[in-house]
């Protein structure tokens, strides 16, 4: 099948279905058009186990049990009327699941034809989803006594959705489709703002608003190429791949200052997909009053988001077809073609085999430091080396970005796949010529399945889980899938879901540990330490959720909340104090430091709190400084220009270097607790600790000793001229109420009793 012909056939299918808004008509048009496009002799559409449309045979002639076997992947042929038919199928998702089965006498369906059929199934899903939304609105209206107003509203919803479908089917530009969606949502729901945001194709960590009504040009300009993790409710919907509804935006911990400034009251955001990946969000909001987002409203926004997904998926399908299912940059198979070949390998009559999920370890660093052209050259070089490691009949694919996959059909176990993984690791360790010798490495996950043991999606998940295990264990290695990985991943998924909800439900709390002048005993500042008060599990310590927050990007909104809360609280204490103002130390992660908006986030927090910049200390780890990119240093200098002070946390445990102490604009060294623990009993530890103190004095840096628990430690550190300290000897991390009592003790009147 030629790419041009496939494109024309998908266009015909979209138009045929979009022009028949009624359910049965759309179903019959879908079956007829699919059969014609794939040159099928018979076609059957089943919804909820019932036959709803057929081509080539009557409905009462449909062998329901045999079709169920086809849908389950246990049959690849059918006997009908004395003829033997090669068959293929595609599931129909949505509220009423089903299956579309095609058969023909003669040649089997090709991988390209199956990819086309999947695109058609997606169109049909969206058509049926439109009908479901209208019916859902009708039921909601009936249940809430609004049935008289339903007919008009239902017709309007259906009309608008059909109009979007026709625009997609007739290949209107994506910008036109997006404008139709935002205008329809504004008019149907009575909202004052509607927007569509998508991640950037060249950098999935960034997102931009691509269409909007009710958003000022100034606000929209600020919403271009914004880190997704810092995009508030929209970013949370994209990252979490779930609907996010906020009734009181101003009090939300992930509210964006630019939107609170224009009095945004309530907001609802629904993710948009390309295939099975969350790539954007449709967002609606109100300015004049708060709004609770009822089920009917959520269903309508979800339906329009699904149509945006259809438009995007259709556009990408067109691109894939125009490349004849080969990645335009590397020449490798696309994700769609790889998945189809994987399904063939795993079918009842397939050979079985293994999948290798290959992810580059340092691609973002190369891309950011050397530029996108160098990144493209690297990806091309990786593709060439991958192919050189494979046999004839194996498939290498680029899944997207710096993710690759390898299909090894016909092998009999992971022991045959491991040597291929080792060859790939060795090949990618060799330097790449990108104008200068550049080194990267890879992490590989290996998963195996016998024919019929696992489906394609499941095997891909197994390989992906093994790859992440390889990254967790240090990168530049492979891991073979084990069932325990799935259990650990599931626990991680549940914790991640809880973490996202925790941001919206205000479940995070701060504790404040006093920082004391070692010679006078005066409290000079506090360190803000986050705690998660889980509604079921109780207090979850930071070491259990901070790494996950960093991995998922949730550390960005969490970190912004910590900055705002800590500066506001300490500024309040300083307004009540008579002595010198307290400082507040806040930890900053590498993920936060990657955000170009961080300096502005710091400014906003200080301005809102009314705090002097030099009272805020941002704590950074040694490893963060050592592994920095040029932009990291620029961002730190920009923060220093605000007047904020910088500290190196846990000094001495990482890659201590005089060079970076001189190069980075740091003000404070925090001596790690491991040194303080042994400062009294171990001469070597004492010498190292006092050496760090003297180093700080020589470089005109303040020193803070962490983890002081005994008077003897205090004596040794103060005797060595350490300036400040913190630890349980002085106070454990305290709630704001407990610290308030410590800072402002209430005088107890003497007893009047004799």
pLDDT at res. 167: 81
- Other Cβ atoms less than 10 A from the Cβ of 682: the count is 13
- At residue 305 the predicted structure's pLDDT band, cuts being 50, 70 and 90, is very high
- Other Cβ atoms less than 10 A from the Cβ of 231: the count is 29
Sheet strands side by side (includes 244-246): 226-227, 206-213, 193-199, 277-286, 266-274, 244-246
**Any residues with CB less than 8 A from the CB of 658 and at least 6 apart, and which?**
695
Is 646 within the bounds of a domain?
yes
Least confident of 110-119, 169-178, 260-269, 586-595: 110-119
Q: Is the pLDDT of residue 74 over 90?
A: no
415 and 530 share one domain: no
Report strand pairing: 616-621 vs 645-651: parallel
CB 4 within 8 A of CB 12: no
Name the nearest CA neighbour of 162 among 191, 120, 134. Answer: 134
pLDDT at res. 655: 52
The rounded distance, in Å, linking the Cα atoms of 647 and 622 is: 10
pLDDT at res. 183: 95
Q: Is the pLDDT of residue 63 over 70?
A: yes
Is 131 within the bounds of a domain?
no
- At residue 186 the predicted structure's pLDDT band, cuts being 50, 70 and 90, is very high
312 and 374 share one domain: no
Is 748 within the bounds of a domain?
no
Least confident of 112-126, 453-467, 518-532: 112-126
CATH of the domain at 421: 3.30.70.270
pLDDT at res. 267: 96
- At residue 684 the predicted structure's pLDDT band, cuts being 50, 70 and 90, is confident
Mean pLDDT of the chain: 84
pLDDT tens string 272-298: 998 678 999 999 999 999 999 988 899
Under DSSP, is residue 193 helix (H, G, I), strand (E, B) or coil?
strand
402 and 432 share one domain: yes
Is 132 within the bounds of a domain?
no
Q: Is the pLDDT of residue 644 over 90?
A: yes
Is 684 within the bounds of a domain?
yes
The rounded distance, in Å, linking the Cα atoms of 546 and 559 is: 10
The rounded distance, in Å, linking the Cα atoms of 10 and 16 is: 10
pLDDT at res. 142: 56
First-last CA distance in the chain:
103
Q: Is the pLDDT of residue 567 over 50?
A: yes
pLDDT at res. 173: 86
pLDDT tens string 335-390: 878 888 898 888 877 889 999 999 998 887 787 778 888 889 999 999 999 999 99
538 and 673 share one domain: yes
Percentage, residues of the chain above pLDDT 90: 39
Distance of CA 598 to the CA centre of its chain: 19
Q: 3-state DSSP: the chain helix, strand, coil percent, rounded to 5?
A: 50, 20, 30
pLDDT at res. 276: 73
Beta bridge partners of 704: 670, 724
Q: Name residue, tokens 């914790």.
A: 495
pLDDT at res. 160: 83
Q: Is the pLDDT of residue 423 over 90?
A: yes
pLDDT at res. 98: 85
Please give the angle made by the CA atoms of 263, 303 and 281, to the nearest 5 degrees: 50
**Any residues with CB less than 8 A from the CB of 75 and at least 6 apart, and which?**
66, 69, 87, 348
- At residue 626 the predicted structure's pLDDT band, cuts being 50, 70 and 90, is low
49 and 171 share one domain: no
Mean pLDDT over 629-633 rounds to 75
Report strand pairing: 353-360 vs 277-286: unpaired
Locate all alpha helices (DSSP H) within 577-682, ordered by sequence: 590-593, 598-609, 622-626, 630-642, 658-663, 673-677
Mean pLDDT over 621-629 rounds to 66
Q: Phi, psi at residue 405, to the nearest 5°?
A: -145, 150
289 and 243 share one domain: yes
- At residue 148 the predicted structure's pLDDT band, cuts being 50, 70 and 90, is very low
Report strand pairing: 42-47 vs 50-55: antiparallel
pLDDT at res. 460: 93
- Other Cβ atoms less than 10 A from the Cβ of 592: the count is 28
Of 97, 124, 151, which one is at a domain's C-terminal end?
A: 124
348 and 301 share one domain: no
446 and 562 share one domain: no
pTM: 0.65
Of 319, 345, 367, which one is at a domain's C-terminal end?
A: 319
**Residue of 145 and 44 predicted with greater confidence:** 44
Please give the angle made by the CA atoms of 8, 14 and 19, to the nearest 5 degrees: 125
Domain that holds residue 308: 161-319
- At residue 652 the predicted structure's pLDDT band, cuts being 50, 70 and 90, is low
In order, the DSSP letters of 538-592 are EEEPHHHHHHHHHHHTTHHHHHHHHHHHHHHHHHHHHHH-SSSPPEEEEE--HHH
- Other Cβ atoms less than 10 A from the Cβ of 312: the count is 21
For 549, the token pair is: 């927050």
Of 457, 481, 505, which one is at a domain's C-terminal end?
A: 481
477 and 496 share one domain: no
In order, the DSSP letters of 270-316 are EEEEETTEEEEEEEEEESSS-----HHHHHHHHHHHHHHHHHHHHHH
pLDDT at res. 419: 94
pLDDT at res. 77: 85
The rounded distance, in Å, linking the Cα atoms of 299 and 293 is: 10
CA distances to 185, 222, 617 from 642, in Å: 42, 21, 12
pLDDT at res. 541: 86
Mean pLDDT over 40-55 rounds to 87
Mean pLDDT over 734-749 rounds to 84
The rounded distance, in Å, linking the Cα atoms of 635 and 641 is: 10
Is 650 within the bounds of a domain?
yes
Number of domains composing the chain: 4
The rounded distance, in Å, linking the Cα atoms of 422 and 40 is: 44
- At residue 149 the predicted structure's pLDDT band, cuts being 50, 70 and 90, is very low
The rounded distance, in Å, linking the Cα atoms of 261 and 258 is: 5
- At residue 150 the predicted structure's pLDDT band, cuts being 50, 70 and 90, is very low
The rounded distance, in Å, linking the Cα atoms of 466 and 694 is: 47
Under DSSP, is residue 666 helix (H, G, I), strand (E, B) or coil?
coil
What region, left, alpha or beta, does residue 68 occupy, with left being phi > 0 and alpha being psi -120 to 50 degrees?
alpha
- At residue 50 the predicted structure's pLDDT band, cuts being 50, 70 and 90, is confident
576 and 690 share one domain: yes
The rounded distance, in Å, linking the Cα atoms of 174 and 168 is: 8
The rounded distance, in Å, linking the Cα atoms of 325 and 112 is: 7
- At residue 33 the predicted structure's pLDDT band, cuts being 50, 70 and 90, is confident
pLDDT at res. 629: 66
417 and 558 share one domain: no
In order, the DSSP letters of 82-140 are TEEEEEEEEEE-SSS-EEEEEEEESSPPPHHHHHHHHHHHHHHHHHHHHHHHHHHHHHH
Name the nearest CA neighbour of 180 among 328, 308, 271, 340. Answer: 308
CB 94 within 8 A of CB 132: yes
Is 486 within the bounds of a domain?
no
100 and 175 share one domain: no
Is 263 within the bounds of a domain?
yes
Least confident of 250-254, 374-378, 464-468: 250-254
CATH of the domain at 664: 3.20.20.450
pLDDT at res. 226: 86
CATH of the domain at 305: 3.30.450.40
**Any residues with CB less than 8 A from the CB of 139 and at least 6 apart, and which?**
none
CB 560 within 8 A of CB 566: no
């Amino acid at each position: 099948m030629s790419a041009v012909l496939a494109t024309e056939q998908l266009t015909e299918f979209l138009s045929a279905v979009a022009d028949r808004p009624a359910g049965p008509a759309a179903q019959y048009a879908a079956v007829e058009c699919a059969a014609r496009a794939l040159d099928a002799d018979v076609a059957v559409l089943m919804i909820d186990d019932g036959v709803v449309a057929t081509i080539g045979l009557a409905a009462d002639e449909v062998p329901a049990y045999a079709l169920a076997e086809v849908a389950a992947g246990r049959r690849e042929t059918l006997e009908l009327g004395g003829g033997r038919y090669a068959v293929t199928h595609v599931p129909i998702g949505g509220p009423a699941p089903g299956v579309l089965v095609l058969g023909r006498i003669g040649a089997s369906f090709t991988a390209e034809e199956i990819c086309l059929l999947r695109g058609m199934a997606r169109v049909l899903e969206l058509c049926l989803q439109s009908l479901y939304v209208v019916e859902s609105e009708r039921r909601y209206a009936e249940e809430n006594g609004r049935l008289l107003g339903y007919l008009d509203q239902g017709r309007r919803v259906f009309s608008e959705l059909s109009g979007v479908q026709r625009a997609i089917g007739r290949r209107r530009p994506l910008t036109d489709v997006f404008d139709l969606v935002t205008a329809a949502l504004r008019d149907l729901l009575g909202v004052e703002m509607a927007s569509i945001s998508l991640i950037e194709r060249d950098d999935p960590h960034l997102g931009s608003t691509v269409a909007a009504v009710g958003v000022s040009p100034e606000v929209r300009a600020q919403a271009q190429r914004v880190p997704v993790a810092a995009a508030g409710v929209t970013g949370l919907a994209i990252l979490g791949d779930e609907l996010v509804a906020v009734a009181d935006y101003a009090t939300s911990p992930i509210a964006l200052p630019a939107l609170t400034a224009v009095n945004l009251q309530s907001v609802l955001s629904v993710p948009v997909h390309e295939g099975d990946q969350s790539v954007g969000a449709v967002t609606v909001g109100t300015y004049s009053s708060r709004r609770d987002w009822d089920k009917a409203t959520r269903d309508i926004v979800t339906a329009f988001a699904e149509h945006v997904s259809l438009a995007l998926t259709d556009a990408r399908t067109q691109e894939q077809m125009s490349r004849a299912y080969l990645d335009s940059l590397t020449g490798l198979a696309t994700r769609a073609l790889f998945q189809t070949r994987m399904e063939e390998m795993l079918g009842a009559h397939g050979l079985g085999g293994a999948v290798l999920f290959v992810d580059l370890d340092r691609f973002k660093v190369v891309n950011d430091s050397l530029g996108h052209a160098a990144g493209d050259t690297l990806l091309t070089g990786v593709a060439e080396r991958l192919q050189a490691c494979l046999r004839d009949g194996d498939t290498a694919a680029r899944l997207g970005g710096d993710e690759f996959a390898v299909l090894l059909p016909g092998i009999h176990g992971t022991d045959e796949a491991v040597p291929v993984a080792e060859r790939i690791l060795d090949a990618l360790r060799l330097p790449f010529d990108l104008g200068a010798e550049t080194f990267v490495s890879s992490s590989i996950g290996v998963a195996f399945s016998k024919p019929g043991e696992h489906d394609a999606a499941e095997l891909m998940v197994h390989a992906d889980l093994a790859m992440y295990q390889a990254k967790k264990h240090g990168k530049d290695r492979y891991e073979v899938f084990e069932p325990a990985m799935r259990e650990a991943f599931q626990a991680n998924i549940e914790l991640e879901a809880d973490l996202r909800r925790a941001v919206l439900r205000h479940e995070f709390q701060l504790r404040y540990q006093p920082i004391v002048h070692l010679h006078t005993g005066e409290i000079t500042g506090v360190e803000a330490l986050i705690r998660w008060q889980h509604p079921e599990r109780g207090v979850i310590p930071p070491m259990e959720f901070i790494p996950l927050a960093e991995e998922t990007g949730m550390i960005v909104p969490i970190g912004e909340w910590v900055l705002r809360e800590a500066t506001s609280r300490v500024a309040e204490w300083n307004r009540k104090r008579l002595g010198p103002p307290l400082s507040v130390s806040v930890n900053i992660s590498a993920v936060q430091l990657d955000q170009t908006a961080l300096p502005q986030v710091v400014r906003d927090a200080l301005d809102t709190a009314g705090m002097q910049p030099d009272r805020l200390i941002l704590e950074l780890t040694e490893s963060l400084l050592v592994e920095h990119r040029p932009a990291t240093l620029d961002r730190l200098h920009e923060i220093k220009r605000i007047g904020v002070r910088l500290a190196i946390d846990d000094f001495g445990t990482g890659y201590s270097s005089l060079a970076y102490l001189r190069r980075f604009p740091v003000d404070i060294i925090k001596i790690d607790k491991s040194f303080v623990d042994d400062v009294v009993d171990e001469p070597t530890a004492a010498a190292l600790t006092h050496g760090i103190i003297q180093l700080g004095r020589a470089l005109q840096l303040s020193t803070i000793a962490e983890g002081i628990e005994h008077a003897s430690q205090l004596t040794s550190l103060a005797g060595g001229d350490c300036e400040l300290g913190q630890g349980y000897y002085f106070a454990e991390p305290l709630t704001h109420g407990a610290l308030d009592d410590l800072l402002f003790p209430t005088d107890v009147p003497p007893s009047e009793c004799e």
